């Protein structure tokens, strides 16, 4: 099974992914956890370019193709082989991020993004997408607190620096995707405490594993 996590900045994906991984492994499942961008060698280089605040004047279409290049390589190098080994794959962001951020956020044509995502994904669409839904204000407060607590962390704030309206459009994009794909998506209220969110994540995954 291929599971993806999506959500605005600061929605708690990393924490929830670690919790889900632990629970699946405790149940005897082999799990591969990965992320986009940055789940493979090429992706690490692209991540540094895409997220650095030092990257200025990146054209929206150039940004799009860097995310797609990361995705194509990541599917070939990490996701497919892990699936072939019988692993459950959990990916922190995937193709839906491109529709939400480059489509709804930047304003690129969503129909075109769907076509390009199909090329990059090459059939490896997730069976289950957990959307950790959160008001962007709340998420951005969390990422700011994290950055202040870790001032020497990686320079990855290019999207956090976008205006609030951008992040609101991203959230609306995700909700629109969830409405379009109700069987694949589970929308989870991520404003609650970590345990409650983890419980909903587990329930959504368990239902899909059973089905
Ligand atoms: P994160 O790994 O810390 O969530 O950061 C990844 C950033 O990249 C996040 O701001 C969302 C953005 N992104 C896109 O804009 N398009 C994409 O296709 C992906 C995968 C991520």
For residue 71, give the CATH number of its domain: 3.40.50.300
Q: What is the pLDDT of residue 154?
A: 86
> Distance between CA atoms of 35 and 90, rounded to whole angstroms?
8
Residue nearest to ligand 1 atom 16, measured at CA: 98
State the closest ligand 1 atom to the C-alpha of 93, by its place in the atom list counted from 1.
20
**Helix (H/G/I), strand (E/B), else coil: 48:** helix
Q: Is the CB of 5 under 6 A from ligand 1?
A: no
Per-residue confidence in pLDDT tens, the chain, 211 aa: 999 999 999 999 999 999 999 999 999 999 999 999 999 999 999 999 999 999 999 999 999 999 999 999 999 999 999 999 999 999 999 999 999 999 999 999 999 999 999 999 999 999 999 999 999 999 999 999 999 999 888 889 999 999 999 999 999 999 999 999 999 999 999 999 999 999 999 999 999 999 8
Q: Is the CB of 67 under 6 A from ligand 1?
A: yes
Contacts for 142 with CB less than 8 Å, ≥ 6 apart? 9, 10, 12
Q: Is the CB of 166 under 6 A from ligand 1?
A: no
Q: Which residue among 93, 132, 155, 167 is best mutated to probe the pocket of ligand 1, counting the most ligand atoms within 8 A of its Cβ?
A: 93
Residue nearest to ligand 1 atom 18, measured at CA: 98
Q: Is the CB of 98 under 6 A from ligand 1?
A: yes
Of 26, 31, 106, 42, which is closest to residue 74 (Cα–Cα)?
42
The range of the structural domain enclosing residue 152 comes to 2-210
For the chain, how many structural domains are there in total? 1
For the question of whether the overall pTM of this predicted structure is more than 0.95, the answer is yes
Phi/psi region, residue 106 (left: phi>0; alpha: psi -120 to 50; beta: rest), is: alpha
Tell how far the Cα of 207 is from the centroid of ligand 1, in angstroms.
Answer: 27
Q: Are 12 and 103 in contact (CB under 8 A)?
A: no
Q: Is the CB of 34 under 6 A from ligand 1?
A: no
Helix ranges restricted to H, the chain: 13-26, 41-51, 60-74, 80-84, 95-97, 110-121, 136-149, 164-180, 194-210
Six token digits for residue 162: 């976008």
CA 92 to each of CA 7, 58, 193, 204, 210: distance values in angstroms, whole numbers, following the listed order: 9, 23, 20, 16, 22
Q: Is the CB of 4 under 6 A from ligand 1?
A: no
Instruction: Provide the Cα torsion 170, 173, 179, 181; round to 10°.
Output: -100
Residue nearest to ligand 1 atom 6, measured at CA: 37
Q: Are 192 and 131 in contact (CB under 8 A)?
A: no
């Amino acid at each position: 099974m291929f599971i993806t996590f999506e959500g605005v900045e600061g929605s708690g994906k990393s924490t929830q992914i670690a919790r889900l991984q632990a629970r699946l492994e405790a149940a005897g499942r082999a799990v591969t956890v990965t992320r986009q961008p940055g789940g493979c060698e090429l992706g690490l280089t692209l991540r540094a370019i895409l997220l650095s605040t030092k990257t200025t004047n990146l054209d929206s279409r150039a940004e799009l193709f860097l995310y797609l290049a990361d995705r194509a390589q990541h599917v070939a190098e990490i996701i497919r082989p892990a699936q072939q080994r019988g692993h459950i794959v959990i990916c922190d962001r995937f193709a839906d991020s491109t529709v939400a951020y480059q489509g709804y956020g930047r304003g690129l044509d969503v129909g075109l993004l769907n076509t390009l995502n199909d090329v990059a994904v090459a059939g490896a669409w997730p069976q289950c997408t957990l959307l950790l839904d959160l008001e962007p204000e709340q998420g951005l407060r969390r990422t700011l607190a994290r950055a202040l607590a870790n001032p020497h962390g990686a320079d990855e704030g290019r999207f956090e620096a976008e205006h609030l309206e951008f992040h609101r459009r991203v959230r609306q994009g995700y909700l629109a995707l969830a409405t379009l794909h109700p069987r694949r998506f589970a929308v989870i209220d991520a404003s609650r405490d970590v345990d409650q969110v983890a419980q909903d994540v587990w329930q959504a995954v368990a239902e899909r594993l059973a089905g």
